[in-house]
Amino acid sequence: MKLLVCVKRVVDFNVKIRVKPDGSGVELANIKMSMNPFDEIAVEEAVRLKEQGKVTEIVAVSIGPQQAGETIRTALAMGADRGILVKTDATVEPLAVAKILAKVVEQEKPDLVIMGKQAIDDDANQTGQMLAALLGWPQGTFAFKVAVGEGSIDVTREVDGGLQTVGLKLPAIVTTDLRLNEPRYASLPNIMKAKKKPLDETSPETLGIDVSPRLKVIKTVEPGGRKAGVKVGSVAELVQKLKVEAGVL
Amino acid sequence: MNFDLTPEQMLLKDSIDRLIASRYSSLEKREAYRKEPLGFSEAIWAQFAELGLLGLPFSEEDGGFGGGPVETMVVMEALGRGLSLEPYLTTVVLGGGFLRHAGSAEQKAAYIPEIVVGNLKLALAQTERQARYDLADIATTAEKTDRGYVIDGQKSLVLAGDSADLFVVSARTSGEQRSQYGVTLFLVDANTPGISRRTYSTQDGGRATEIEFSGTIVSTDAILGPVDGGYPFLEHVIGETIAALSAEAVGAMESLHQLTVEYLKTRKQFGVSIGSFQTLQHRAVDMLMALEQARSMEMYAAMMVGSDNADERRSAISAAKVQINRSARFVGQEAVQLHGGIGMTMEYIGAHYFKRLTMIESLFGDTAHHLHQVARVGGLVAAA
Amino acid sequence: MDLRFTEEENAFRDEVRSFFRTEIPAEIRRKVSEGRRLSREDYVISQRILNARDWAVPHWPLEWGGQPWTPIQRYIFTEELLQAAVPLPLQFNCYMVGPVIAAFGSEEQKKRFLPRIANLDDWWCQGFSEPGAGSDLASLKTRALREGDFYVVDGQKTWTTLGQYADWIFCLVRTDPTVKKQAGISFLLIDMKTPGITVRPIITIDGRHEVNEIFFDNVRVPIENLVGEENKGWDYAKFLLANERTGIARIGLSKERIARIKRLAKEVPVGTGTLWDNRDFRARVASVEIELKALEITQMRVVATQSKTGSSKPDPASSILKIKGSELQQTTTELLLEAAGPYALLTGDQIGAGPNEPPGGFDWVDAAAPTYFNNRKVTIYGGSNEIQRNVIARAILGL
Ligand SMILES: Cc1cc2nc3c(=O)[nH]c(=O)nc-3n(C[C@H](O)[C@H](O)[C@H](O)COP(=O)(O)OP(=O)(O)OC[C@H]3O[C@@H](n4cnc5c(N)ncnc54)[C@H](O)[C@@H]3O)c2cc1C
Ligand SMILES: Cc1cc2nc3c(=O)[nH]c(=O)nc-3n(C[C@H](O)[C@H](O)[C@H](O)COP(=O)(O)OP(=O)(O)OC[C@H]3O[C@@H](n4cnc5c(N)ncnc54)[C@H](O)[C@@H]3O)c2cc1C
């Protein structure tokens, strides 16, 4: 079984984001970039499936500038077998990403696509769903656990207030949630091996996909600073404040 | 000219940085590791093995991964950033260095694979009480007998000496006490009869051991490198160790500087963040300059440590150590000062960086020692 | 201009010098010199010996045990005491709360407290700093609400030096939150045994229990423990801090440490000789001594001015003494660290069984780094050196 895993290059989750002075977006110059954490979980799950003997080949795909190649290298060092970089310097919106991925799926014909439920930069939470729609494939989103069977996959999903298991016919799309697994660190031997793994390059143009944006960013603002807390004298006062001032009770 | 890391080095950096960031995310965790029986986390050590870090500098034929000084620098920086307690420097850089440069094929085959999987830890038994920083000042003797060699003498400041399974021991087989000629290195199993150890905790949360060899018998297989010709290896491997230690210092300074700048932004006095006082801003800037100067010399050391020109290599390493020491002292002192009272407490991680940096200064030659080395050969710029 | 002391002054110096070196137990002086921890008892013994000679509080008013000494004699006394490695009479008692009570306290308070302060029958600690009020001391929040004959105190003090030994604490508390922050502060004396007080240790960087956090929860303090007038505490605090800063140069202490370093350097083997044979090391020591000499003369100039004007008002120049003196104290600890060399790494804590021998064969090296670490405090407390520079810029330079 062949598996496609999607990896996005985003601002590292440890970096304190700063908004550009003109509000057009966030500061990216000289900022540490890493693989989207949910995508790491996706890669980890893919590698585990391979280690269990359920998957024979893992292809890692990234869409982005030349440096997104580094993100693919990370996936290769974690255990993916080969990479495809769809190179573009443009800002690619979720729909365009989904279209590109659909095209790649068409060419690669994987049995399963695993990707993060969202990317921590734009928090869109759309790409997986759009890709499923474009391909007409079943989807198991927010995966907490996956179990691959014969021509099918059971995906246990995190939903409000509990878990839900859905059975999907392959080929299918799975998007990962935080608790699916704990991604490994790339080991030295695997880093060395990754050096020799193939990384192909293509582009949206070659794939025939128009990535021109359909959305316009009007404004980006920093989150407001946390307000100072107040000390309450009694439980009664607390309840009163929660009711009247916070309006949460 | 190129100061960039290769993609593989970046991946290595990413892995080790993240491992350390998660394992050493708080002072409480570090304290818990320190209180483990060996004074560090065996689980983390196992993880180092799993990631291949323990095999980093060994050649692929020997079972390692062929990393060079830059890879070691990447790892040591991360260990410095996290104030890691694991004996990486002593086992992989020091002990491993002797095996790599002086080990016979049999010795390499016997020990390197064990190091790589995390089963074997090494320490260097070299310093003696009277020696201070003179590597050739060795009074411990190794007397040749029909059963091999008999070692007698005292060694001091054996870093991580209590958890080590195997010692690299320098002993005199001929020559005067301070002569470079006549030093022989031995690989000595820590459990050999005639070895007694006394271990102290060190000011920075580590451990160091005083070792006494009395009539310790080792076979001729234990000889590491040429008889009477151990000194050049001592110097070379300790040079590599200084380069690695420099990287650790830079990592620690980087964390400490970052902590300080964060503190300046958050601590409020007189109704404003203390970072708004220009005098403190300038101090933080001076710390940054000290850090960057140190970083440059760290890189210089990493790039020069492999040089075949021994004179050039020596001066470069000494010059690096001087800069590292000075920056370490400056950054450490300023960080405490800018924190005020809180910087003076054991509860605050910043204080522990300061202590480690202070100890790095005195390891393998203090500022005065290395400054003297550079000056002795006429400095770094040729006279006109 | 004349640097020499008069004959009387020389005689005085000899008298105090020999007293310190013969009467104060050598063991206590050794601990001070080596930077070892003093027990509560050590402080008490030493101070009571001084007090029995009427020398614990020579700078106090005569009627409360002071001596009719000139500023020069006082200077000689303190410098000789420090050079003999005698513990300074407990600062909180003799240099802080004592002078404040003597100057602003009621007759009743003077009678009740001053003799016990001088004899260290009561151990006092200083409750000024709070988590949010360090350099900005006036922003302190610990409040004292008047309820009949009591103040009810709530809040937290921190960095309280040796609070674990204290019988009493003198505190700055907020008695009026409605006015400008300096104007609503009072100076209260609080018995540490009062219910509602909790002391939590803070371990400092050298591994010692030197400072504490002190929590006040509904602590009832009799109103007769207010010093002076309500809401005038800030004035008393300024008076106290100025006293704290004079004599803070501690030149005698630095001299004592340098003398000791020289002795140690002659014992540390290097090559065929000792560390003292190393010319670079000697030059570094000499260079510190030169700065110290300059500071000593500066200190003498301040003292001479005081004797001429007869004014005991603190001089803004005392900030210069504090800055330079504290920096030199720190520099001497750097020399000590250098003398210990690689052995500075070792603590005296041996892991596992075996005879407890001094590490590295030197019985002093394990205290070198802790002394260096601990001395980082001297540029932080008593008004940090940054704050002192602000004072000089404002008060002397008019910036
Ligand atoms: C030898 C020489 C050659 C020069 N050549 C040229 C030239 O070819 N062309 C040209 O245009 N100019 C030239 N200059 C001018 C030079 O750029 C100015 O002297 C410089 O910008 C400082 O301005 P200033 O002399 O007015 O000092 P000021 O700006 O008045 O500064 C006085 C002092 O205050 C400090 N200061 C000022 N503002 C701050 C602040 N916000 N925070 C902290 N400190 C502050 C300064 O650092 C300085 O120490 C030259 C100057 C010299 C000395
Ligand atoms: C070992 C030790 C013992 C102590 N003992 C006592 C005691 O017994 N009783 C007691 O009440 N207190 C005690 N203190 C507290 C001491 O007085 C405070 O630590 C000191 O006032 C500094 O306050 P802070 O620690 O809150 O630092 P902060 O005031 O937060 O200062 C942090 C940094 O900012 C700088 N800074 C602050 N304001 C300015 C400014 N306006 N301009 C320039 N720089 C500025 C400071 O110099 C410092 O470098 C002790 C402190 C220590 C370390």
DSSP B189-218: ETTSTTEEEEEEEETTS-EEEEEEEEEEEE
DSSP state of A35: E
Contacts of A191 in chain B (CB under 8 A): 8, 11-12, 15, 52
Q: What pLDDT, on the 0 to 100 scale, is given for residue C312?
A: 61
Show Cβ contacts of residue C245 under 8 Å, excluding neighbours closer than 6 positions: C314, C318, C319, C321, C322, C382, C383, C388
Interface touch C379/B363, C-beta < 8 Å: no
- CA B277 → CA B282, B287, C215, C376, distances in Å? 9, 16, 31, 21
Residue of B nearest to C202 (CA): B345
Q: How far apart are CA B344 and CA B332, in angstroms?
A: 11
Residue C137 CA to ligand 2 centre (angstroms): 9
DSSP state of C181: G
What is the pTM (predicted TM-score) of this model? 0.93
- Rounded to the nearest angstrom, the minimum Cα separation between B107 and chain A is 23
Residue of C nearest to B196 (CA): C354
Contacts of C361 in chain B (CB under 8 A): 129, 156
Residue C395 CA to ligand 1 centre (angstroms): 27
Q: Is the CB of C134 under 6 A from ligand 2?
A: yes
Q: Is the CB of C161 under 6 A from ligand 2?
A: yes
Show Cβ contacts of residue C382 under 8 Å, excluding neighbours closer than 6 positions: C241, C244, C245, C248, C322
Ligand 2 atom closest to the Cα of residue B338 is 49
Place of tokens 């700055």: C172
Strands B148-159 and B207-218 turn out to be antiparallel
Token representation of residue C237: 């605090």
Closest CA to B88 of B71, B66, B106, B105: B71
E strand or H helix that includes residue B227: none
Q: For residues A87 and A148, is the Cβ–Cβ distance under 8 A? A: no
Residue C20 CA to ligand 1 centre (angstroms): 57
Which of A188, A190, A193, A226 to mutate: most B Cβ within 10 Å?
A188
Beta-carbon count within 10 A of C212 CB:
22
Q: Is the CB of B331 under 6 A from ligand 2?
A: no
Q: How far apart are CA A69 and CA B304, in angstroms?
A: 31
Q: Is the CB of C159 under 6 A from ligand 2?
A: yes
Vertex C35 angle, CA C32 and C39, to 5°:
60
Token representation of residue B36: 């483990």
Residue type, A200: D
Q: What pLDDT, on the 0 to 100 scale, is given for residue C235?
A: 96
Q: How far apart are CA C225 and CA C205, in angstroms?
A: 35
pLDDT, mean of residues A180-195: 94
Closest CA to C27 of C16, C15, C37, C17: C37
Number of H helices, E strands in chain C: 13, 11
Interface touch B53/A191, C-beta < 8 Å: no
Beta-carbon count within 10 A of B21 CB:
13
List, for residues B64-95, the tens digit of each pLDDT value: 999 999 999 999 999 999 999 999 999 999 99
- Rounded to the nearest angstrom, the minimum Cα separation between A30 and chain B is 14
E strand or H helix that includes residue C60: none
Q: How far apart are CA A116 and CA A42, in angstroms?
A: 6
Q: For residues B140 and B183, is the Cβ–Cβ distance under 8 A? A: no
Contacts of B264 in chain C (CB under 8 A): none
Q: What pLDDT, on the 0 to 100 scale, is given for residue C247?
A: 67
Residue C84 CA to ligand 2 centre (angstroms): 29
Token representation of residue C244: 């704290």
Place of tokens 């940085």: B17
Show Cβ contacts of residue B107 under 8 Å, excluding neighbours closer than 6 positions: B99, B187, B221, B224
Q: Does domain A2-246 have CATH number 1.20.1740.10?
A: no
> Which regions in chain C score pLDDT beneath 50?
none
Task: Closest CB to B51: pick one of A34, A74, A185.
Answer: A185
Task: Closest CB to C386: pick one of B207, B279, B354.
Answer: B279
Q: How far apart are CA C72 and CA C303, in angstroms?
A: 6
Q: Residue A24 above 80 pLDDT?
A: yes
Interface touch B345/C360, C-beta < 8 Å: no
Q: What pLDDT, on the 0 to 100 scale, is given for residue A228?
A: 66
A74 and chain B: CB distance < 8 Å anywhere?
Answer: yes
Q: For residues C337 and B362, is the Cβ–Cβ distance under 8 A? A: yes
Burial level of B28, CB count in 10 A (0-12/13-18/19+)?
Answer: exposed
Show Cβ contacts of residue C322 under 8 Å, excluding neighbours closer than 6 positions: C245, C248, C249, C382, C383, C385, C388
Q: What pLDDT, on the 0 to 100 scale, is given for residue C314?
A: 64
DSSP state of B222: G
Q: How far apart are CA C292 and CA C256, in angstroms?
A: 12
Which domains does chain C possess?
A: 7-89 (no CATH), 124-232 (2.40.110.10), 249-395 (1.20.140.10)
Task: Concatenate the DSSP letters of all residues of B283-348 into one string.
Answer: HHHHHHHHHHHHHHHHHHHHHHTT-S-HHHHHHHHHHHHHHHHHHHHHHHHHHHHHHGGGGGBTTS
Task: Closest CB to B15: pick one of A186, A192, A195.
Answer: A186
Q: Is the CB of C138 under 6 A from ligand 2?
A: no
Q: Is the CB of B340 under 6 A from ligand 2?
A: yes
Q: How far apart are CA C130 and CA C211, in angstroms?
A: 13
Q: Is the CB of B269 under 6 A from ligand 2?
A: yes
Show the beta-strand stretches assigned E in chain B.
Answer: 122-125, 141-145, 148-159, 166-172, 183-189, 195-202, 207-218, 223-224, 268-269, 272-273
Q: What pLDDT, on the 0 to 100 scale, is given for residue C341?
A: 94
Q: How far apart are CA C341 and CA C379, in angstroms?
A: 24
- CA C106 → CA C114, C167, C201, C293, distances in Å? 11, 20, 33, 42
A159 and chain B: CB distance < 8 Å anywhere?
Answer: no
Q: Closest residue (by CA) to atom 27 of ligand 2?
A: B340
Ligand 2 atom closest to the Cα of residue C384 is 47
Q: Where does the pLDDT of residue A87 fall: very low under 50, low under 70, confident under 90, or very high at 90 and above?
A: very high
- Rounded to the nearest angstrom, the minimum Cα separation between B55 and chain A is 9
List, for residues B127-172, the tens digit of each pLDDT value: 998 899 999 999 999 999 998 999 999 999 999 999 999 999 999 9
- Enumerate the β-bridge partners of residue A127: none
Closest CA to C327 of C303, C295, C302: C295
Interface touch B134/C271, C-beta < 8 Å: yes
Closest CA to B178 of B130, B122, B118: B130
Interface touch C269/B359, C-beta < 8 Å: no
Residue of A nearest to B16 (CA): A185
Q: Do chains A and C touch (3 or more CB pairs under 8 A)?
A: no
Q: Is the CB of C381 under 6 A from ligand 2?
A: yes
Q: Is the CB of B333 under 6 A from ligand 2?
A: no
Ligand 2 atom closest to the Cα of residue C211 is 3
Q: What pLDDT, on the 0 to 100 scale, is given for residue A23?
A: 84
B15 and chain A: CB distance < 8 Å anywhere?
Answer: yes
Q: Which of the pair, C155 or A18, is modelled with greater confidence?
A: C155
Which domains does chain B possess?
A: 7-120 (1.10.540.10), 123-229 (2.40.110.10), 232-376 (1.20.140.10)
DSSP state of C39: P
Interface touch C384/B340, C-beta < 8 Å: yes
How many B/C residue pairs have CB atoms within 8 Å?
A: 151
Contacts of B132 in chain C (CB under 8 A): 268-270, 275, 341-342
Q: What pLDDT, on the 0 to 100 scale, is given for residue A18?
A: 87
Q: What pLDDT, on the 0 to 100 scale, is given for residue C340?
A: 95
- Enumerate the β-bridge partners of residue A87: A64
Q: How far apart are CA B274 and CA B265, in angstroms?
A: 7
Burial level of B49, CB count in 10 A (0-12/13-18/19+)?
Answer: middle
Per-residue pLDDT of chain B (384 residues; tens, 9 = 90+): 889 999 999 999 999 999 999 999 999 999 999 999 999 999 999 999 999 999 999 999 999 999 999 999 999 999 999 999 999 999 999 999 999 999 999 999 999 999 999 999 999 999 998 899 999 999 999 999 998 999 999 999 999 999 999 999 999 999 999 999 999 999 999 999 999 999 999 999 999 999 999 999 999 999 999 999 999 999 999 999 999 999 999 999 999 999 999 999 999 999 999 999 999 999 999 999 999 999 999 999 999 999 999 999 999 999 999 999 999 999 999 999 999 999 999 999 999 999 999 999 999 999 999 999 999 999 999 888
Q: How far apart are CA A32 and CA B14, in angstroms?
A: 11
